[in-house]
Structure 1
Amino acid sequence: MKNRTISILLGLLAFVTGGCEDMLDRFPKDKLTPENYFHTEEECRLYTNDFYSMFPNGSAIYGETADVISQTTLTSEVLGTRVVPSKVGTWNWEKLRDINFFLQHSGNCEDSAVKLKYEGLARFFRAYFYFEKVKYYGDVPWVDRPLASDDTELYKGRDSREIVIDNVLKDIDFAIANLPAEKSLYTVTRWTALALKSRICLFEGTFRKYHELGDYAGILTECIAASKRFIEESGYSIYNSGATPYQDLFSSLKANGTEIILARAYNSSLALTHDVNGYLTSSTMGRPGLLKNIANMYLMIDGTPFTSQMGWEEKTLPEEYVNRDKRFAQTVRTPGFKRIGATAVSAPDLAATETGYQLIKFLQAAKYDSYNSSTNDLPLFRTAEVYLNYAEAKAELGILTQEDIDLVIKPLRDRAGVANLSLANANAHPDSYLSSEETGYRNVTGDNKGVILEIRRERTVEMLMENLRYWDIMRWKEGKRFEKVFTGLYFPRPGEYDLNADGKVDVCIWKDAKPSTNASLVYELEKDLFLTEKDHGNLLLHTDYIRKWNEERDYLYPIPIDDRVLTQGNISQNPGWEDGLNF
């Protein structure tokens, strides 16, 4: 076991030509020594290209679920069925060894400017690596040099998250100071580093606040400073051109550099593809759909809550989309929706979405629907997130102003066709739906409650399907949301339904006697699908088990058993997780 774990820590030295998966180009090991390598920019570039594989792949980016999207199979985190594993990929340290190996020997580079640039890149990725570890596990061992097989630090215990985050911030500050300022869609720059610092500091600051770990104000201030510098110096802005700018930002084959800071590149000619089209249109890939609770969060265009409208609970899809935040119709299929390149309208397909709110974010033309054929670039960091981080950090510290809102919230709402947020009105009248323990966020209190809730609303609808939501729930200490009832579209009775108001019946729901119908999809009530009020109500999902969230345990993942055994308990287990070991 000792040798196996040491081999994990030592890792393999791999190189990629462009930072994308499936493009490995391994360098002969007999030629890779500190004495004869890392002397030129090309050698530094080749080695550090492999670090880009640390970023999430396609399905991880667009495939988030948490409490916003339901699939036919829920994750173990949402179900509450996680167990302590023997080993797991999220407790893998190969890339850290590779990063530290590079940093130890990058001094070989003969060009000091190149040396600093690639040291900055390596330290960016070390910061990213450790941020991911802290998100999953909290306290983790901090190691800043490559370890030999007989090094006692291989068996060291965990350092506190405060120590780790302090070192992470040192790394990311070095990266900000030394990475190039020139924009690049596919390589890390100074602006990527500022965006990462903004993300790290918001996560850690709010996690400490809502989990009552103390010492959160300073790190939220760091988030504000990094975000503000990005806003003032980067030249990035919110993309707002054309009739459907939000939708176009994600369906475009090539990433839009107006707003997207860093993207993962895809290209069919290089066999770099993902499967978002299949995921969103197939009846066999989970049938993902927006949950009703999140659909309710999209505002009316006048800035008032949808849930303040008369009879909102009983509105059908053709009724509820009227005069809504434009992101609603650019995120799910609503009346008038047409596939890219198509002339005919397309209704929601209940065979491909179990909630009825069929997602279209990232969806490309129908020719990409076949298995693993999608090639649109996927964003890793974008400007809207930095704007939202800035607003949230300031709101949490009680220093947000209307001028701040005009700077970072208004551009998002302008693109969505929604009236601007008023700080005074939000705090004077906190939205009852968002503050409800059943439908909203139970942990928000204080004088800024109203505006914090509104920023969370904005973040929810703006950043949907971008691999952030689960971690937002963790830092806000809102895991109990996973226990709530999951529902979809509203149906007032059994019968035929034209879901996109084009005059054609799309689905028929029947009870007692199957009717004659032209609908392509026919479902028997209480057998094929279920409604919340038996013969009417919202689509009712996942009622065959009880979801349970443990407030004392589930905000951190369990440490794998193998590594606990290897260190003879120096690596302690996270609270609440039972692994059967006596140390």
Structure 2
Amino acid sequence: MNYKNILFLAVLCCTLFSCSEEFLDKEPLSEVTPENFFVTASDLELYTNGFYRMLPHTSIYNGDSRTDNIIQNELSDEMRGTRLVPTSGGGWDWAYLRDINFFLENYTRSDDEAAKNHYGGVARFFRAYFYFQKLQRFGEVPWYDSTIDPSDKEALTKPRDSRQFVVDKILEDLDWAIANMEAAQNMFEVSKYTALALKSRVGLYEGTYEKYRSIDGYEKYLEASVAASEELINSSPYRIYSTGKPEEDYANLFNSHEAIGTEIILARAYSEALNIGHNVNYYTTTSSYGRPGMPKDLVNSYLYRDGSRFTDQDNYNQLFFTEEVKDRDPRLSQTIRTPGYTRKGESMELAPNLGATVTGYQITKYVTEPVYDTNGQSITDLTLFRFAEVVLNYAEAKAELGTLTQEDLDNSINLLRDRVGMAHLSLETANGNPDPFMADQYPGVAENNKGVILEIRRERRIELYMENFRWDDVVRWKAGETLTQPIRGMYFPGPGEYDLTGDGETNVVLYQGERPDKLVPGVQYYEIGSDVFLDENNLIEPHPDFDNRTFNENKDYLYPLPRIELQLNPNLEQNPGWE
């Protein structure tokens, strides 16, 4: 079944499901009873279609704006260190779990064994997904695997379970799903492969979270990630999408209207015909909606195409834009506007629009034809799970375990580099000469495998840019101080006329004082100190009034529980530092 139909069914399911976001004592599915439902495969399918509402919607790429990946005109509360304890809400909602557990208590009434196996796996996948999100946000949480009677005070006021207990239960659900779900290659429905991809993600997250906090027993989670990743790598139909066009393939994977099933395991569908859209074109091209941009430290981390390090040269922060982006990892020019950039379906070369990005590095990932620039009209399917993440998980988990080999790199990281015609990553070279620029970003990496771990982190940030991984990566690496480093943008020597496309024509003018009397059509004009701020090194400073930021190592990796939940359940304790 095509997921564009599931979107309709999800709306229908809202008439069957209680769509409120109340706590665990809400009544489940008042119109559905075990006696009149859970009989046919269609019943099971219809019910589980409602679980897809848990998946990220139109803001899937906005998750990176919480971090140092996407810089906007206003920093997030996470970046500013200004998060507050909410009175209610704050992500502490359990409605979906109630619906999932209700299904798992009743779906075996069906006589269709194949349907029970598959949709039982779907439900367990979503329970694992639900709890993984809670674990990432709050740490330890109470585990419930059954519906709760509203009068069951003991269940409603139980304390949190340990994070290892919760993670083990998540993996138990995923193992059941992997063993019983259909092995179907469907980009818009969860399958055995989606469950394997989530297991790969969960194992890596928990394994590194515990390792970098010196918690005993972390290895079993990294090993779970490796096992799931290996099964996907060796026994699934997925591979790294490539048509032999290194200057286009990475960009085309994300600006295709229809998700590319070669690599994408699960996606969120959008459709012009169904009037279901998101706002990525508007978000990245307009001057009135955040003005998102890539930060210079991330631009600096892209290697040259031959694999050499951009930051090994003394003047890397004072290179003009056209020289800065020359001969770099082709993913850079397929993620931001660089010389030669054209909109999809058009031939006019465009310079970065400094009015639409606070750093000067204008994002192009997911961006399609200008006809979709209106807010809410983008129709590119958005990726939720893809094979590239799996190979990155595999390489990182093995590196952290100390078992990574060159063959492992060739079957993972180097597949990503092959897509864009990059030189291969060498285990011996990376460990023999760790990159000091990357080491400054992640000082917590130990000497064992330090060089290759830093390279894998580089690769992960670049490959998965704007896919909502950065916050969770920083948390699991215990690398919060990374978010406090200075945020800068493009280099300009000072006032003057500038050519950002390399065609010999001026397209940006920076001035001080009076604006030039004669304005040339198509040229951007910005006043230094008003429209654009330059620091002492002539780098764009996006937030001159908020450049000193802090990260509290004792509290900022987790979110606070809402006050009302602590009042309702006296056995819950607030997360450390949020009391």
TM-score, structure 2 normalization: 0.94
- Secondary structure of 1:394's partner? helix
Identify the residue that residue 201 of structure 2 maps to in structure 1: 199
- Distance (Å, rounded) in 1 between the aligned partners of 2:227 and 2:444: 26
- Distance (Å, rounded) in 2 between the aligned partners of 1:30 and 1:261: 34
- Secondary structure of 1:58's partner? coil
- Distance (Å, rounded) in 2 between the aligned partners of 1:393 and 1:560: 34
Please show how residues 138-537 of structure 1 align to structure 2 within 5 Å: 138-151=139-152, 152-241=154-243, 242=245, 243-309=247-313, 311-436=315-440, 440-515=441-516, 516-518=518-520, 520-533=523-536, 537=538
Identify the residue that residue 570 of structure 1 maps to in structure 2: 571
Matched-pair contact (CA < 8 Å) for 1:16–1:25: no
Q: CA deviation at 1:16?
A: 10
The aligned amino acid for 1:529 is: V
Q: Any idea what the Cα deviations from partners look like across 1:521-556, whole Å, max 9, x if unmatched?
A: 2222122221121xx511012231332210011111
- Distance (Å, rounded) in 2 between the aligned partners of 1:497 and 1:46: 58
Structure 1 residues not aligned, in runs of 5+: 1-14, 579-583
Matched-pair contact (CA < 8 Å) for 1:21–1:272: no
Which stretch of the first structure deviates more once superposed, 189-198 or 474-483? 474-483
Q: CA deviation at 1:371?
A: 1.7
The aligned amino acid for 1:562 is: I
The aligned amino acid for 2:344 is: I
- Distance (Å, rounded) in 1 between the aligned partners of 2:218 and 2:163: 12
- Distance (Å, rounded) in 1 between the aligned partners of 2:549 and 2:138: 22
- Distance (Å, rounded) in 2 between the aligned partners of 1:184 and 1:341: 28
- Distance (Å, rounded) in 1 between the aligned partners of 2:356 and 2:525: 14
Identify the residue that residue 4 of structure 1 maps to in structure 2: none
Matched-pair contact (CA < 8 Å) for 1:332–1:358: yes
Q: Any idea what the Cα deviations from partners look like across 1:415-442, whole Å, max 9, x if unmatched?
A: 1221000100100100010011xxx111
Matched-pair contact (CA < 8 Å) for 1:511–1:525: yes
Which stretch of the first structure deviates more once superposed, 222-231 or 267-276? 267-276
Identify the residue that residue 23 of structure 1 maps to in structure 2: 11
Deviation beyond 4 Å, 4+ runs, structure 1:
19-22, 27-31
- Distance (Å, rounded) in 2 between the aligned partners of 1:213 and 1:80: 26
Q: Any idea what the Cα deviations from partners look like across 1:187-214, whole Å, max 9, x if unmatched?
A: 0011110000000000000000112222
Q: CA deviation at 1:89?
A: 4.5
Indicate how the Cα distance of structure 1 residues 224 and 25 shifts in structure 2: closer, same or farther if over 3 A, else same.
closer
Q: CA deviation at 1:512?
A: 4.0
Indicate how the Cα distance of structure 1 residues 423 and 17 shifts in structure 2: closer, same or farther if over 3 A, else same.
same
- Distance (Å, rounded) in 2 between the aligned partners of 1:81 and 1:512: 35
Q: CA deviation at 1:27?
A: 4.3
- Distance (Å, rounded) in 2 between the aligned partners of 1:467 and 1:238: 20
Identify the residue that residue 33 of structure 1 maps to in structure 2: 33
The aligned amino acid for 1:225 is: A
Matched-pair contact (CA < 8 Å) for 1:202–1:220: yes
Matched-pair contact (CA < 8 Å) for 2:90–2:562: no
Q: Any idea what the Cα deviations from partners look like across 1:290-341, whole Å, max 9, x if unmatched?
A: 0000000110011011111353221111111111100000000000001011
- Secondary structure of 1:538's partner? coil
Structure 2 residues not aligned, in runs of 5+: 17-28
Identify the residue that residue 46 of structure 1 maps to in structure 2: 46
- Distance (Å, rounded) in 2 between the aligned partners of 1:355 and 1:197: 36
Matched-pair contact (CA < 8 Å) for 1:68–1:291: yes
Matched-pair contact (CA < 8 Å) for 1:277–1:368: yes
- Distance (Å, rounded) in 1 between the aligned partners of 2:448 and 2:481: 24
Q: CA deviation at 1:520?
A: 3.1
- Distance (Å, rounded) in 1 between the aligned partners of 2:201 and 2:221: 11
The aligned amino acid for 1:526 is: G
The aligned amino acid for 1:548 is: T
Matched-pair contact (CA < 8 Å) for 2:4–2:269: no
The aligned amino acid for 1:471 is: D
Indicate how the Cα distance of structure 1 residues 505 and 287 shifts in structure 2: closer, same or farther if over 3 A, else same.
same
- Secondary structure of 1:496's partner? strand
Matched-pair contact (CA < 8 Å) for 1:299–1:418: no
Amino-acid identity (%) = 47
- Secondary structure of 1:489's partner? coil
Identify the residue that residue 60 of structure 2 maps to in structure 1: 60
Indicate how the Cα distance of structure 1 residues 48 and 401 shifts in structure 2: closer, same or farther if over 3 A, else same.
same
